[in-house]
A = this chain, B = another copy of it.
C-alpha cells in the first residue's frame, strides 16, 4: 500500500463523488453561494492540460435575455436531433435533456482561439485540447456533487450560433453549456437508463489485454 494513500474518509469521498455524480436536468431555483461557485471553477482550473496549455474559457451567463437566447439555440438543436433519430423522434422529444431555464447558474465552456500554437502533446492529436477541457469539467462535476449541487453538460447546440451570440473570437469553440444548481434529489442511476432510453453495459465489455 502506498504511503501517499488518502485516509479512509477522504478516499470514500472521492469514490462517492465518482459514483453519485449525475448528468442533471432537474434543478431548484435556490441560488448558489458565490464562494462555492468560485471553488467549483477553481476545481476545474486545477485540471492538468496537455503541455499546460489550459485550453478553457468559462463564460458565466448572468443576463436573463441571454439565457433565453441560449435556451432557444438548444431547443432548435433538440428538434433537429429528434428528426435525425427517425423512429425514436417522439420518444426523444419526451425526454428532459436540459435544465437551462431552471438552474441557478449557467456557464458556457469554450476552447480558446490560437490553439494551433500549442504543439506539445498535440502534433498528432490536436483534439487533446478538448480532452483537457473535459477533464476540467469533470473536476467541476465531482466538486459540485461533493457540495451537494447538480450539474448537467448540454451539448445539443449549433456551435456557430453560440459563438456568435457570445461574441467569441474566430478559432474559439464552445463545447459545453453547463447547468449548475441545487437539486431536489440526485438521480439514483443515469436518467437515460431510468427513462429506458438505453441500458449501460458493464465494465468487462470494455476491457481487453494487449490487443483490441
Contacts and interface: CB of A to CB of B under 8 A. Distances in A.
B57 A212 contact: yes
A124 B63 CA distance: 25
A17 interface: yes
A10 B127 CA distance: 33
Given A60-B207, A60-B210, A128 B155 contact: yes
Interface residues of A, number: 108
Nearest to A12: B10
B155 A211 contact: no
Nearest to A5: B148
A179 interface: no
A163 B158 CA distance: 32
Given A17-B14, A62-B209, A142-B142, A23 B45 contact: no
